[in-house]
Amino acid sequence: MFQDISVEQLLEFQRKKELTLVDVRSPSEYHDATIPGDLNIPLFDDQERAEIGTTYKQVSIQAAKEKGLEIVSAKLPAFVKSFQEIDSPKAVFCWRGGMRSKTTATVLSLMGIRVYRLTGGIRAYRSWVVDTLSRFEFRPKAYIINGLTGSGKTFILRYLKEQGYPVLDLEALAGHRGSIFGQIGLKSHNQKTFESLLLQEPLKLEDSPYVLFEAESKRIGKVVLPEFIVNEKETNVQFFIEMPIEERVKHILEDYEPWNHQEECLLAFQRIKSRIHTPIAKEIEAYLREGQFAEAVGSLLIYYYDPRYDHATSRYTSDKVTIRAHDFMEAAEAIMSRLGPPPPKLKEKSRFPAKAADRDFFNSREK
């Protein structure tokens, strides 16, 4: 028989890499939001789920159950085989720990496959995320990478991370670069996905002496940053990167590849066109249409982004360290020189204090 486990128990399993999480909801539910690091083996696809839901609303609960049984019966062999191919302990979940995860866990148990079921489903996990973020206290000192658009802040952060420095890459978690053009060539995340991904990172870094991240506005694309991140940005040391405009244009072209996304660039530009002096805006639009992307980027920096940036940064009251560099590598080396060697890599700890019931649960497994 399967065993129900709490969110805390499930995440402790996941932290120790002792469990494969499986979301048995439909593909569209899975893509909307799930638990990071899991798999999707849907009991019903989107069309089947819609059909069962219609039967539930228009006929009866019993008729919906019978329709579900009819659909599942035909696909059970392949469904069970998908779980047999996972060579590790498994835990399943659905929206609220209801029929789909219970049916899955029961069938797998009957087939001799040991499985856990998440109590409360992803709804319980989502509640845990929201509650934990609302109470989160960020312990490490923060160093903020700041600078004009195109000064290589993201390149610098990712290089520093490769060198072993503790980094929180907010744009990667959001799937967005933070500007009007920031979604081009990327898959942006919604708030639920962003918060689930975000929560994993500070918890890994909470015992580090410091963390580096980029100065972002409160909103990155579709997502809003939690207050503890915003507060850190406004009150800690800022590394301001100063770089020649030619190098900034080069970074932007390398990152965005506008020649592969010309229509998206034009659509994004329409959102800010009215904020730029009309003759300049017409010139920028013409550059974009004619494929003169370096000229378009240069004008956008001079007439739109740089003035807005100067206004936004004038409000900062934190310590400012200016880094003058010719390219992002020189800037990264200057920051590393100021910070010294990266701190020792810390062993990841449990993400929360274990409750007595959870300690008993894990102790019983080890005996």
Angle at 161 between CA 329 and CA 333, to 5 degrees: 30
- Between CA 115 and CA 125 the distance in angstroms is 18
- Between CA 314 and CA 308 the distance in angstroms is 10
Of 22, 24, 91, 94, which is the active-site residue? 94
Q: Cβ(84)–Cβ(55) under 8 Å?
A: no
Instruction: Reduce the DSSP state of residue 17 to 3 states and report it.
Output: coil
Nearest to 135 by CA among 192, 234, 203, 67: 203
Q: Is 94 a catalytic residue?
A: yes
Q: 129: which residues sit within 8 A by CB, 6+ positions away?
A: 192, 195, 196, 199
Q: 3: which residues sit within 8 A by CB, 6+ positions away?
A: 116, 117
Instruction: Tally the C-alpha atoms within 13 A of residue 48's C-alpha that lie toward its C-beta.
Output: 19
Nearest to 181 by CA among 230, 155, 225, 220: 220
CA 194 remoteness from chain centre:
4
Q: Cβ(239)–Cβ(144) under 8 Å?
A: yes
Give me the active site residues, please.
94
